[in-house]
Amino acid sequence: MTTDSARKPRVLIVDDEEGIRSQIKWALSSLYDVLLAGDANTALEIIKSDRPDVATFDIALSSVGEDTHGMDLLVDALGVNPGMKIIMVTGNEDKQTAINAIRAGAYDYFQKPVDLDELKIIIKRALYVKQLESENKELQSKLSQGDSFQEIIGASDPMRRVFKKIGTIASSDYTVLVTGESGTGKELVAKALHARSQRQGKPFITINCGAIPDTLLEAELFGHEKGAFTDAIAQKKGKFESADHGTLFLDEIGELSLLLQVKLLRFLQDQTIERIGGNVPIKLDVRIIAATNKNLMDEVGLKAFRDDLYYRLSVITIELPPLRDRADDVVLLANYFLERFSAANNRAACTFDRKSIARMHSYEWPGNVRELENRIKRAVILAEGRVIKPSDMGFESDEPSARKPLAVVREEVEREYIMDVLRQHDWNVSRAASDLSVSRTTLYDLLEKYGIKRQ
């Protein structure tokens, strides 16, 4: 189903009840290659050696002598094999536990007692999703057979839609507008579009419209004739001409001045440009791909961007989702960068510890994939052993998002409050009790509970 289509899909069942294991094995073995594990360590061994496609984990899994349970196993397993689809089996736990499991990367969950027909459907669907993902990988590797552009990694639903769109529009000559927050991969997508088009092998020219002052940008884009302005000591071709027969990637298009917007519009209308100081139109064959992290529609509203240019540019748009909306991709990307940077630094392959994986899942990634890439680059250099800890990636070691349980906070507040009142009454218990509207006995109980002694 995955790499070797001849073999039966592999399904791993992890449950500490032998009865449940054999019941499930009996039900599934005609369809799948069923592997069984009764504890977390055995499960991890099997995941490493047999690379199952799908696994079911008992969420309440106990492991003798250790505090490992199903949730920890989930995080460990995704670290070892991020592509595996994991289905959590819950007992009487509340739904929140199951939802937390999904947040941590589980594919789905279902409740005990096990309904075998339901389980069969869930597994079948998980395998289908896994198959789509591997087809998607194939598409990516086809994409990367173009020129020197990197793989675009992603298995989340939103990225799958992006790949599909790239596949359908790459070979056309349409103008494409790529949008998305900074670091989401806009330039990577622009290169992928070029590499899959008939223009592959021809120039791919990039220009960042936000990085160059307007007057220089005009000359950069359109070139100039000799003597067009003081510094124009010779004729110069611009980026448009350099991109002839290829693709011109206009990055940060939202920064383009209104004057240059007019010139770009003219090119989009009749495929001609004029050099500065020249009056001969030059006909060119250039495909335009533009990118922006602004909302161009807003710019149009503010009259900072021409609406007619906007409509020409946005015939086809590819919207790259922020990384925080691609939970499925985080660990996949992390492992990809880890492999790349380990190899580049001649370091033995590292792995992430459980806290790092959990941290990556809960983090918001304001700098998107670029931030992830940078954090992992740093971690590969800083990690002391072969295991990457949150601090190696520049995270505080403990999850700042981990909240104190309400009960703990209540007790802390209660203790502080009692101390305050006691101090006010000079540690006179009767007066403090009356002020707090509790009996003396109750207050004595509380003093004992909180270990409060006169200070």
Ligand X SMILES: Nc1ncnc2c1ncn2[C@@H]1O[C@H](COP(=O)(O)OP(=O)(O)OP(=O)(O)O)[C@@H](O)[C@H]1O
CB of 162 to ligand X, least distance (A): 9
SS (H, E, C) 266-281: HHHHHCEECCECCCCC
Q: How far apart are CA 389 and CA 294, in angstroms?
A: 35
Q: Binders of ligand X: how many residues, by CB under 6 A?
A: 17
CB of 327 to ligand X, least distance (A): 14
Q: How far apart are CA 420 and CA 412, in angstroms?
A: 12
Closest CA to 330 of 380, 375, 386: 375
DSSP label of 212: S
- List the x/- string, 365-384, binding to ligand X by CB under 6 A: ----xx--x-----------
Q: Which amino acid is at 43?
A: A
Stretch that binds ligand X, among 90-98, 152-160, 356-364, 401-409 (CB under 6 A): 152-160
- Which of 175/271 has CB closer to Mg ion? 175
3 state SS of 149: coil
Q: Which amino acid is at 357?
A: I
CB of 150 to ligand X, least distance (A): 5
Residues of span 396-415 touching ligand X by CB under 6 A: none
Write out the E strands in 59-214.
85-90, 108-111, 176-179, 204-208
Nearest to ligand X by Cβ — which residue?
A: 185
What residue ranges bind Mg ion (CB under 5 A)? 187
Tokens representing 304?
A: 């900072």
Residue with tokens 């006691």: 422
CB of 302 to ligand X, least distance (A): 20
- List the x/- string, 91-130, binding to ligand X by CB under 6 A: ----------------------------------------
Residue with tokens 């918001």: 364
Residues of span 199-218 touching ligand X by CB under 6 A: none
Q: How far apart are CA 444 and CA 450, in angstroms?
A: 10
Residues of span 305-334 touching ligand X by CB under 6 A: 333
Nearest to Mg ion by Cβ — which residue?
A: 187
Beta carbons within 10 angstroms of residue 241's beta carbon: 19
Q: What is the dihedral of CA 239, 242, 247, 250, to 10 degrees?
A: -10
Exposure string over 402-423, b if 16+ CB within 10 A, otherwise e? eeeeeeeeeeeeebeebbeebe
Closest CA to 112 of 37, 160, 56, 193: 56
Q: Under a CB-based contact definition with an 8 Å cutoff, are residues 43 and 13 in contact? A: no
Q: How far apart are CA 100 and CA 96, in angstroms?
A: 6
293 binds, among Mg ion, ligand X, none (CB under 5 to 8 A by kind): ligand X
CB of 87 to ligand X, least distance (A): 26
- Which of 90/156 has CB closer to ligand X? 156
Write out the E strands in 137-186.
176-179
Residues of span 162-201 touching ligand X by CB under 6 A: 180, 182-188
- Which of 187/435 has CB closer to Mg ion? 187
Residues of span 281-310 touching ligand X by CB under 6 A: 293
- Which of 93/187 has CB closer to ligand X? 187
CB of 250 to Mg ion, least distance (A): 11
CB of 294 to Mg ion, least distance (A): 13
CB of 186 to Mg ion, least distance (A): 5
Closest CA to 252 of 352, 324, 301, 182: 182
Q: Which amino acid is at 277?
A: G
- Which of 223/254 has CB closer to Mg ion? 254
- List the x/- string, 56-95, binding to ligand X by CB under 6 A: ----------------------------------------
CB of 313 to ligand X, least distance (A): 16
Residues of span 214-273 touching ligand X by CB under 6 A: none
Q: How far apart are CA 98 and CA 86, in angstroms?
A: 12
140 contributes a contact to ligand X by CB under 6 A: no
Q: How far apart are CA 243 and CA 262, in angstroms?
A: 19
The pair phi, psi for residue 427, each rounded to 5°, is: 65, 30
CB of 247 to ligand X, least distance (A): 15
Residue with tokens 């791909």: 289
- Which of 40/250 has CB closer to Mg ion? 250
Stretch that binds ligand X, among 151-159, 306-314, 396-404, 423-431 (CB under 6 A): 151-159
CB of 291 to Mg ion, least distance (A): 6
- Which of 292/335 has CB closer to Mg ion? 292
238 binds, among ligand X, Mg ion, none (CB under 5 to 8 A by kind): none
> Which chain residues interact with ligand X by CB under 6 A?
150, 152-154, 180, 182-188, 293, 333, 369-370, 373
